Chains A and B, each alone.
Chain A
Amino acid sequence: MKTKELIQHIATSTSMTKTHAEELLNATVAVLQKNLLNGNSVQLQNFGTLEMKRKSARVVVHPQTKERTIVPEKMQLTFKPNQTIKEQLKNI
């Protein structure tokens, strides 16, 4: 499902106009981006949490040349699904 279909679906289910739904979606995306980049974790009800996590540096070995290189430490966006959503999607 792409963003357009998502907007269409939301608009039909909540009886909003498409443009309004798009505005709200853009607003949520902006809020999520701003908060995530500031290091805040965002909790979504009955869905999961989005969080920025620190990944420590590690050594990677090239399988053919056996060359060892260090991947520097970095931040990564992680998503941890909620238990309810896990159960819902386990068998479909």
Chain B
Amino acid sequence: MANDKLTWVELRKAVAQTANTSEQEAGQFLIALLDAIVKGLKDDQQVKIKGIGTFALKAVAPRKSVNIATGEIFTIEGYNKLTFNAESMLKESVEKRIEQPKTEEIIADINPDPMRKLGEQADEIVDILADLGQAPSTSDNTNRKIENVEPTAVVEENKNEATELTTPDQNGTNAIKDSIEKEKQKVVVAEEPTNSNTPHACKCKKWVCWMIWIVILLSIIGTGIYFRNTLIQWWHCMQDCQPIEENIEGIVDVPEVIDSEIIPLTNRPREYVNFVGIERVGKNSRLAWIAYKHYAQKDLWVFIYEANRDIIKHPAHVIEGQYIRIPELSEEYRNLYNPELRQLVDSLAIEYLKK
């Protein structure tokens, strides 16, 4: 897909070719077209070109901003923004023009690596499993060998010692036997602590458990004693206060009713005393457009109409050159996410447009 920039000259040439006219005429026409679009935007706020889309002006409401360096608050003035909205047919055909090969390439780049990694992992797992399958037998064997080897070695050593010692003196044999017995006893003594470690730990654990239980019980009893008075009061309340609670509920109902009387916006009288400014109605302007300019909500034109009822006869027919007062709206009347206000605005709009 080519990503070139079609310049003005190239565009002129292409238009001249497709329409079978001279380049000069095409250039004249294009300049006239752009001028016409600008004029249309100034007059009508939007220009619709069949086959391409609509160019429209969008009012950006003034907003407050802060100068970062000085901390000064200032207002950015509202302005009009030129926007373009493509025609739905063109939009759809454009959306389908996603570069397919690129995504495929990306997938092709990404995919093989994890597969390879998975394969390696699988191999590793297989190796580990194989090791594990062999390991128990080998380890057992080695342990057994060690167990088998050690005593024999000791015996051999003992025998050697015995043979060495038996030769010089017969009295020495008794001493050797004693020494062997002592060694055996030592071994037994050495073995005993290893065996006795586990029951000792068990006893310790039991002790710890008991201590914890005792501490918990003591703490429960302590808290019981400490909050005795409050508990008694609570118990009394449980028995006595049930009718009082009902009474409280009965009392609570009253303010709710008052609140519900305050809330509805529909019944409240609307007075327009403060005004933000005066707006001159432009050519082809509408109340909705003016409302959008000042409140950033088209649907709030209803309140503008209400404030200017003496001037405007019908909301759909605003005369060019009229001066309209823009009322100041409180936050309550601006939040269209409030369903009540939405309902009010809709109902008012229907009522006024029916006239």
Q: Please indicate the chain A residues that have their CB under 8 angstroms from the CB of B21 in the complex.
A: 24
Q: Are A89 and B40 in contact (CB under 8 A)?
A: no
Minimal beta-carbon separation of A81 from chain B (angstroms): 4
Given that A21-B29, A43-B6 are contacting pairs, would A75 and B95 also be in contact in the complex, using a CB cutoff of 8 Å?
yes
Q: Are B29 and A6 in contact (CB under 8 A)?
A: no
Chain A interface, number of residues (Cβ within 8 angstroms)? 55
Chain B interface, number of residues (Cβ within 8 angstroms)? 58
Q: Are B18 and A27 in contact (CB under 8 A)?
A: yes
Would you call B251 an interface residue if the criterion is a C-beta within 8 Å of the partner chain's C-beta atoms? no
A-B contact count (CB 8 A): 157
**Cβ 8 A contact of B93, one of A37, A44, A73, A92:** A37
Contact surface of A with B, Cβ cutoff 8 Å? 1-3, 5-6, 9-10, 13-14, 16, 21, 23-33, 35-50, 52, 54, 73-79, 81, 85-86, 88-92
Contact surface of B with A, Cβ cutoff 8 Å? 1-8, 11, 14-15, 18-19, 21, 25-26, 28-44, 46-53, 55, 57, 79-80, 82-84, 86, 90-91, 93-99
Interchain residue pairs with CB less than 8 A apart (28): A1-B40, A1-B44, A6-B37, A9-B36, A10-B33, A13-B35, A21-B29, A24-B19, A28-B30, A29-B52, A31-B14, A36-B90, A38-B1, A39-B97, A40-B2, A41-B5, A41-B6, A44-B11, A46-B34, A47-B34, A47-B37, A76-B91, A76-B95, A77-B91, A86-B82, A89-B82, A90-B79, A91-B79
Additional 8 contacts, C-beta under 8 A, given A30-B18, A35-B14, A88-B38 = A24-B19, A37-B93, A40-B2, A43-B8, A47-B38, A52-B97, A79-B82, A91-B80
